[in-house]
């Protein structure tokens, strides 16, 4: 799992480092890592470092300082470097060093001309001390770089972003590569801000960071944690999933959830939903059984619509006291108390309704709202979207492996709820079920980028899971 820390946590670690190591200059470590990353980028992209033309946008703080010391190193390696101090002031020692190494200082007007001929724009305008958004001349440069297709390497984070927020300001740089120091910050991993960062490279500058703000899963984490069958496995030990989803109006959601549960490796599925879906599942998925019986976890809510008797339908399933995935329409009907080990799977709109707030409030602070729901219902919340947040009642946050943007389509959530129910039935706790379920669906979608329907992506899950056995 990859640790994510807030800007404040990084600042505190920096202060502690300076107190313990008074003679060490962290900016030089950052500049070393940054220069090396730019060098690799130029080598990988064709022009190479010798003779490459760099435009460096330098802000007033230490982010600009990092950029200036790195620029000096790159100039000494043969780059032709032009510097624009975007706010007049620039890190004094850094500027002196860059000029001594042969970097040329230019003004705003010259920066536009220099950009057109640059192989790369180094964005050292603002880092973790930046307020969101860009002043007009810098915003213009950022836009021109995009229009001209000039690659941007961002120092620490693309200027204009708030380090701690998933929501990007309208004006920011759009980086091809972001070179960050000490730790990943929320903007590097949370969509849609993360899409402004491009590839993210972390440079270790020796900071000692405490408890992370969140942990982000990588594919290897999922491979290590996925429950695989062994020589003593049978259908009961692998887990029996009870599915009570679908309605007269929405039978498809029930089919999709059942497809998801089956392709994630359920030992057995008992489908207990109403008529139309039951018939469709009988025809399409012959291994699914039908009717009541012993199960180890329930999946409820997907495709229920708004029917009289839904509250009783939910209460009846929760009365079993089993771990339950509560999805979609059942989220509107939550009682005050849920059995231990339940998983709520709202998207932003459903979470907003659950908490009686506007959807925009949830998208502005997804984690805060997911925490509020997890605390109120003492259940794990999987908040779905471009970033999938797994939030536990104690406030801990995990981030699932991200998927391609193609996954944003009707039916993905139904499949995901089915995958999670299989993992609950296999005995995983709700947080692990959510993390693994959301991640494996994303990994399956990554195998088939394109507008494939969610059931096609579900049918890709066995190949991903089969690969876990090989890795372990």
Ligand X SMILES: NC(=O)C1=CN([C@@H]2O[C@H](COP(=O)(O)OP(=O)(O)OC[C@H]3O[C@@H](n4cnc5c(N)ncnc54)[C@H](O)[C@@H]3O)[C@@H](O)[C@H]2O)[C@@H](O)CC1
Q: Return residues touching ligand X (CB under 6 A).
A: 10-11, 14, 26-27, 30, 59-64, 66, 87, 126-131, 133, 135, 155-156, 181-182, 205
In the bound state with ligand X, the residue whose beta carbon lies nearer, of 27 and 458, is 27
List of E strands, 117-254? 120-124, 152-155, 177-181, 199-203, 214-216, 240-244
In the bound state with ligand X, the residue whose beta carbon lies nearer, of 66 and 460, is 66
- In the complex, what is the shortest distance from the CB of residue 169 to K ion, in angstroms, rounded to a whole number? 13
The yes or no reply on residue 66 touching K ion (CB under 5 A) is no
- Binding region for AMP: 413
In the block, residue with structure tokens 């975007």: 86
Binding partner of residue 26 among K ion, ligand X, none, CB cut-off 5 to 8 Å per kind: ligand X
User: How is residue 319 written in tokens?
Assistant: 């009365």
- In the complex, what is the shortest distance from the CB of residue 172 to K ion, in angstroms, rounded to a whole number? 9
Binding partner of residue 60 among ligand X, K ion, none, CB cut-off 5 to 8 Å per kind: ligand X
- In the complex, what is the shortest distance from the CB of residue 121 to ligand X, in angstroms, rounded to a whole number? 16
The C-alpha atoms of residue 415 and residue 68 are separated, in whole angstroms, by: 50
Binding partner of residue 10 among ligand X, K ion, none, CB cut-off 5 to 8 Å per kind: ligand X
In the bound state with ligand X, the residue whose beta carbon lies nearer, of 135 and 361, is 135
Q: Specify the DSSP element, H or E, that contains 106.
A: strand 104-106
The C-alpha atoms of residue 242 and residue 246 are separated, in whole angstroms, by: 13
Phi–psi pair at 242, nearest 5 degrees: -95, 130
- In the complex, what is the shortest distance from the CB of residue 161 to K ion, in angstroms, rounded to a whole number? 8
- In the complex, what is the shortest distance from the CB of residue 113 to ligand X, in angstroms, rounded to a whole number? 23
289 strand-pairing partners = 270
- In the complex, what is the shortest distance from the CB of residue 10 to ligand X, in angstroms, rounded to a whole number? 5
The C-alpha atoms of residue 141 and residue 461 are separated, in whole angstroms, by: 43
In the bound state with ligand X, the residue whose beta carbon lies nearer, of 130 and 346, is 130
The C-alpha atoms of residue 363 and residue 352 are separated, in whole angstroms, by: 9
Binding partner of residue 329 among ligand X, K ion, none, CB cut-off 5 to 8 Å per kind: none
- In the complex, what is the shortest distance from the CB of residue 125 to K ion, in angstroms, rounded to a whole number? 5
In the block, residue with structure tokens 């939910």: 314
Binding partner of residue 382 among K ion, ligand X, none, CB cut-off 5 to 8 Å per kind: none
In the bound state with ligand X, the residue whose beta carbon lies nearer, of 155 and 299, is 155
Cα–Cα distance list, 303 to 213, 355, 360, 385, 413 (Å): 35, 21, 24, 19, 11
- The residue of the chain with the least Cβ separation from K ion equals 159
Alpha-carbon Rg of the chain, whole angstroms? 26
The C-alpha atoms of residue 328 and residue 140 are separated, in whole angstroms, by: 43
In the bound state with ligand X, the residue whose beta carbon lies nearer, of 27 and 216, is 27
- Binding region: 62-66, 123, 127-133, 156, 159, 253, 303, 347, 413-414
How many chain residues interact with K ion (CB under 5 A)? 4
- In the complex, what is the shortest distance from the CB of residue 124 to K ion, in angstroms, rounded to a whole number? 6
Distance, first Cα to last Cα, the chain: 17
Binding partner of residue 123 among ligand X, K ion, none, CB cut-off 5 to 8 Å per kind: K ion
The C-alpha atoms of residue 415 and residue 55 are separated, in whole angstroms, by: 47
Binding partner of residue 128 among ligand X, K ion, none, CB cut-off 5 to 8 Å per kind: ligand X
- In the complex, what is the shortest distance from the CB of residue 7 to ligand X, in angstroms, rounded to a whole number? 8
The C-alpha atoms of residue 289 and residue 270 are separated, in whole angstroms, by: 5
In the bound state with ligand X, the residue whose beta carbon lies nearer, of 27 and 419, is 27
User: How is residue 327 written in tokens?
Assistant: 């999805």
Binding test (CB under 5 A) with K ion, winner from 62, 86, 159, 172: 159
In the bound state with K ion, the residue whose beta carbon lies nearer, of 70 and 428, is 70
DSSP string, 273-331: --HHHHHHHHHH-TT-EES----SEEEE-TT--S-TTHHHHHHHHHTT---EEEEGGGG
Binding test (CB under 5 A) with K ion, winner from 66, 82, 123, 162: 123
In the bound state with ligand X, the residue whose beta carbon lies nearer, of 181 and 271, is 181
The C-alpha atoms of residue 419 and residue 409 are separated, in whole angstroms, by: 17
Of 133, 150, 137, 159, the C-alpha closest to 63 is 159
Site for K ion, residues 128 to 157, rule: CB under 5 A: 154-155
Residues that bind K ion (CB under 5 A): 123, 154-155, 159
């Amino acid at each position: 799992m990859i640790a994510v820390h807030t800007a404040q946590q990084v600042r505190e670690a920096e202060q502690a480092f300076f107190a313990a190591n008074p003679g060490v200059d962290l900016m030089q470590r950052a500049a070393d890592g940054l220069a090396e990353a730019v060098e690799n980028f130029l080598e990988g992209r064709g022009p190479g470092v010798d003779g490459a033309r760099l435009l460096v946008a330098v802000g007033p703080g230490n982010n600009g300082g990092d950029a200036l010391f790195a620029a000096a190193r790159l100039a000494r390696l043969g780059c032709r470097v032009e510097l624009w101090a975007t706010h007049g002031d620039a890190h004094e020692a850094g500027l002196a060093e860059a000029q001594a190494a042969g970097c040329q200082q230019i003004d705003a007007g010259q920066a536009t001309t220099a950009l057109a001929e640059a192989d790369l724009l180094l964005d050292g305008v603002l880092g973790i001390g930046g307020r969101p958004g860009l002043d007009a001349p810098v915003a213009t440069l950022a836009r021109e770089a995009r229009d001209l297709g000039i690659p941007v390497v961002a120092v620490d984070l693309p200027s204009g972003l708030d380090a701690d927020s998933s929501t990007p300001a309208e004006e920011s740089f759009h980086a091809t590569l972001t070179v960050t120091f000490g730790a990943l910050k929320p903007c590097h991993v949370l969509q849609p801000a993360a899409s402004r960062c491009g590839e993210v490279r972390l440079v270790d500058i020796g900071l000692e960071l405490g408890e992370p703000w969140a942990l982000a899963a990588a594919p290897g984490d999922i491979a290590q944690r996925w429950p695989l069958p062994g020589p003593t496995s049978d259908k009961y030990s692998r887990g029996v999933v009870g599915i009570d989803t679908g309605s007269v109006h929405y039978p498809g959601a029930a089919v999709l959830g059942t497809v998801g549960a089956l392709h994630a490796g359920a030992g057995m599925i008992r489908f207990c939903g109403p008529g139309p879906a039951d018939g469709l599942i009988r025809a399409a998925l012959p291994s699914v059984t039908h009717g009541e019986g012993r199960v180890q976890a329930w999946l409820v809510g997907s495709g229920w619509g708004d029917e009289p008797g839904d509250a009783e339908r939910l209460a009846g399933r929760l009365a079993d006291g089993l771990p339950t995935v509560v999805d979609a329409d059942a989220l509107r009907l939550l009682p005050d108390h849920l059995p231990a080990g339940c998983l709520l799977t709202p998207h932003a709109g459903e979470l907003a309704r659950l908490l009686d707030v506007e959807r925009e409030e949830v998208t502005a602070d997804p984690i805060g709202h997911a925490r509020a729901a997890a605390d109120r219902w003492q259940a794990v919340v999987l908040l779905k979207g471009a970033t999938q947040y797994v939030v536990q009642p104690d406030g801990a946050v995990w981030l699932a492996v991200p998927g391609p943007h193609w996954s944003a389509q009707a039916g993905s959530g139904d499949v995901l709820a089915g995958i999670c129910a299989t993992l609950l039935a296999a005995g995983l706790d709700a947080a692990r079920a959510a993390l693994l379920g959301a991640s494996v669906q994303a990994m399956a979608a990554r195998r088939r980028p394109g507008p494939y329907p969610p059931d096609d992506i579900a049918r890709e899950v066995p190949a991903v899971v089969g690969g876990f056995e090989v890795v372990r």
